[in-house]
Structure 1
Amino acid sequence: MSQPEEAAAPERFITVSLEKRGVSCTAKLLSDRAPITCDAVWHALPLGGDVYHAKYARNEIYALVEPFAAVEPPLENPTITPIPGDLCYFTFTGTQLATASYGYEQDAHHRGRATVVDLALFYERNNLLINGDAGWVPGIVWGAVVDGLDRMADACQDLWRAGALGETLSFRRE
């Protein structure tokens, strides 16, 4: 007699958007590789905030949000070399982001946040998660863009050249 097969969890998809630019892409949650992180994000959606373009990691945009998980996820499915389409999750203390060179010390440190969550989208190749102040900064890869990365990459390049002021990065269920 054969064992009954365990039902596979349904695939979950989200929309990642640059609101002002009216550009979105679709990402699949990597629940098989980062189940704790995916569940935490999924149950907290929608999420988003002011968008920033990375200085150190290169081809990355991200939003800083309030912590939303009951317990911060462990470093599951880690990377220091994200590829195009990776969605990554980082946790930082307010003091880690308090250096004026980051450009958001008022947001991260002066509001008294003990912790901040960074939800990031990588849109092109040749990224390296190293920071001059802290060294290696591994992230949790919790999603992968499956549609619209080309449009989003163009919008991210525009954000890099034209500026991020007034733009919002959002994550919501499909």
Structure 2
Amino acid sequence: MAANQDRYLEVSLAKRGVTCTAKLLADRAPLTCAAVWDALPLVSDVYHAKYARNEIYALFPAFAEQEPPLENPTVTPIPGDLCYFSFNGTQLGSQSYGYGTGAGVDAGTPVIDLALFYERNNLLLNGDVGWVPGIVWGQVVEGLDEMAAACQDLWRNGAAGETLGFRRA
């Protein structure tokens, strides 16, 4: 991916019919941006965070040829940040997470978490494992208010049947 070429993607909640546009931060997280861009489109069940507060995310099987290093890391994402996390199934396998069967969370299997933070006051601290730094690879540039309202609806009314999708704009 050329560092001087801006790239954008659409992030959507399909059932709610809401989409926002994000700019890839290729100058700050080039390896992560390239891995995600090459894997698009990506769609999976959406979850609302239990620990990080104002976050929605989807889990995917590992898609990069080589996992990106922790470039452009944060533990305090701001509204509109898109973050990339890499876990193994053992890290997310606790029953307390509530993924159950079929979510692709199996011991020893890499799991990629692509997240959208939609409001302030987030802290990536998990009671089971401690600090969980994420790679900030994108920033919402259009439609965050509508997406945040849909995320609040997801929090209040549930995520069942909803998907989070990422595709090239």
Does TM-score exceed 0.5, indicating one fold? yes
Structure 1 residue 31 corresponds to structure 2 residue 22: no
Question: Per the alignment, do residues 8 and 78 of structure 1 end up closer, same or farther by CA in structure 2, a change over 3 Å counting?
Answer: closer
Matched pairs, number: 167
**Matched residues in 2 for 1:43 and 1:133: separation?**
32
Shift of 1:48: 1.8
Aligned counterpart in structure 2 of residue 119 of structure 1, from 82, 93, 114: 114
> Is contact 2:13-2:162 (8 Å) kept?
yes
Mark the runs of 5 or more structure 1 residues left unpaired by the alignment.
1-6
Tell me which residue corresponds to 2:105.
Answer: 109
- With the length of structure 1 as denominator, give the TM-score of the two structures: 0.93
* Separation in structure 2 between the aligned mates of residue 8 and residue 39 of structure 1, nearest angstrom: 10
Please tell me the residue identity of whatever aligns with 2:36: V
The whole-number CA distance in structure 2 between the counterparts of 1:90 and 1:119 is 7
1:77-119 residue CA offsets vs partner (Å, 9 max, x unmatched): 0000000000000000001111111010422434x66110000
- The amino acid across from 2:75 in the alignment is I
Identity %: 72
1:98 aligns with 2:93: yes
Q: Which 4+ runs in 1 deviate beyond 3 A?
A: none
Larger Cα-atom Rg: 1
Residue 45 in structure 1 maps to residue 40 in structure 2: yes
SS in structure 2 of the partner of residue 127 of structure 1:
coil
1: distance between equivalents of 2:92 and 2:134? 16
Q: Which residue of 2 aligns with 1:89?
A: 84
- CA deviation map 1:25-56 (0-9, x unaligned): 00000000000000000011001200000000
Counterpart amino acid of residue 125 in structure 1: R
Q: Give the letter aligned to residue 105 of structure 2.
A: H
1:16, 1:27 within 8 Å by CA — same for their partners in 2? Answer: yes
Report if the CA contact (8 A) 1:99-1:105 is conserved. no
Task: Find the residue that maps to 2:150 and give its secondary structure.
Answer: helix
> Any gaps of 5 or more consecutive residues in structure 2?
none
Which letter maps to 2:139?
A: A
CA RMSD of aligned residues (A): 1.2
**Match of residue 49, structure 2, among 25, 47, 54:** 54
Instruction: Tell whether 2:164 aligns with 1:172.
Output: no
Q: In the aligned structure 1, how far is the partner of 2:146 from the partner of 2:163?
A: 16
Secondary structure in structure 2 of the residue aligned to 1:159: helix
